Structure 1
Amino acid sequence: MSKESKIEIEKLRITASTLIEDGQSVCEITEHLIREKGANRVVAENVVKEFYKDRQKHYRMRGLFFLSIAGVVLIGSLVLQEMTNELMSEWNKWAADGAIYMVVAVKLVLWGVAFYFSLKGLLYLLFGGRGVRIRRPT
């Protein structure tokens, strides 16, 4: 592939990324690249498909990242519970009562954070890139 064609394809990718951010469909972007930029239909379709695949991969990775954060937070909550159980056996009753309330508050916060990140991760995995609609030209 010549240097000029690589430059043209990169210009088409930049235009496609701008149009995808504006929320246009794959079909509209392909037609725009053909009409406005004078691209070949096959090249325009390949550029849009490649960019769309990269974008979907990005959303999947982001979703998995958020799910891993949720998992780490839940594991931290379990470790906190085990540490608390060990400490409760050593403390006297009055100190243990106050510590229980503190631990419950911290666990509720950790569970809330884990729920937030797990929900965010699942939404990225299921609906990431929702601004791009795949429609075939009629």
Structure 2
Amino acid sequence: MLEEEEPETYVPPAAQQRSLLRRRAASFGHALRGVWVALRSELHLQFHAAATVLVLGLGAYFQLSPTEWALVGLSVASVWAAELFNTAIETLTNLVSPGYHPLAGKAKDVAAGAVLLAALGAVVVGGLVFGPKVWALLPR
């Protein structure tokens, strides 16, 4: 015997909008929890956090221009994003391949390489933005 499907209940558009907003808010909560979990468990991300605090302090001290802030902000965000992707890839790789496998090692190495490139790019941007400002402070 086939079960009868219940007719869909009418949901007013305003209620649908509130539901959508709640789901979006929950998504941000999940994302922030992911950053927090990675920050607590990953030593490299803790290093990046300390570097971020230092860079923000230097930026405030040197009164960076909006363009300089944009470059520094994009650099910091790219390093954090690369590190979070790396953490996710390593965690997933450990789940599906707990033992050693050359492809698992390759995936981890490539993800770590992405972090390295983002960090090197951030160092270059930092040198270009902060270098002349620090140089101007040095006694001659």
TM range (shorter): 0.3 to 0.5
* Structure of higher CA gyration radius: 1
What TM-score results when the alignment is normalised by the length of structure 1? 0.42
What TM-score results when the alignment is normalised by the length of structure 2? 0.42
